[in-house]
Amino acid sequence: MLLSTDIWVGALIRRAELGGAFAAVARKGDARAGAVLVKIVNRRDGTARLYSEAMRGDGERFWMQPVRSVFEPDLDAYVERAARIDPDLWLVEIEDREGRHFLTEPVEPDPS
C-alpha cells in the first residue's frame, strides 16, 4: 500500500530538516494522490535540480530529472507548465548546502 501524498511529503520534509536542510511545500496539490515534484536548490554554487517520480517498464518507481538544466528559472518554467496540466501537483523545495535530495527511493544518476 502506498502512502497518501501529504504523508509522504511530510516525511520528505522531516528527513531534509533532520539533515540540516530547509524544506517547504511550495505548491500543495491533492492530499491523497497528487503527483510530486522535488526542487533542490544549492545556494552555495547557485544551481538547482528538479526531480519527478516515474515508473520503469517493470513497474519499479524511481525519480528522474525531467529538465536537465541547473538554472532555477528553467525549472520554475517546467513546474508552471506541469501545474497547468495537473492542478493536483505538489512542489517541495529543499535548500541544502550540499545539494542533497533526501529521496529514499531510487534516483537516476545525475547527468553531469
pLDDT at 112 over 70: no
- Residue 2: which pLDDT band, with cuts at 50, 70 and 90? confident
* DSSP 8-state class, residue 66: S
pTM listed for this prediction? 0.92
pLDDT at 73 over 90: yes
- Residue 15: which pLDDT band, with cuts at 50, 70 and 90? very high
pLDDT at 95 over 70: yes
Judged by phi (left if over 0) then psi (alpha if -120 to 50, else beta), residue 64 lies in beta
Do residues 90 and 34 make contact, with C-beta atoms less than 8 angstroms apart? Answer: yes
- Distance, in Å, from the CA atom of 41 to the CA atom of 79, rounded to the nearest integer, reads 14
CATH number among 3.30.1330.10, 2.60.40.10, 3.40.1530.20, 3.40.50.2000, domain 5-95: 3.40.1530.20
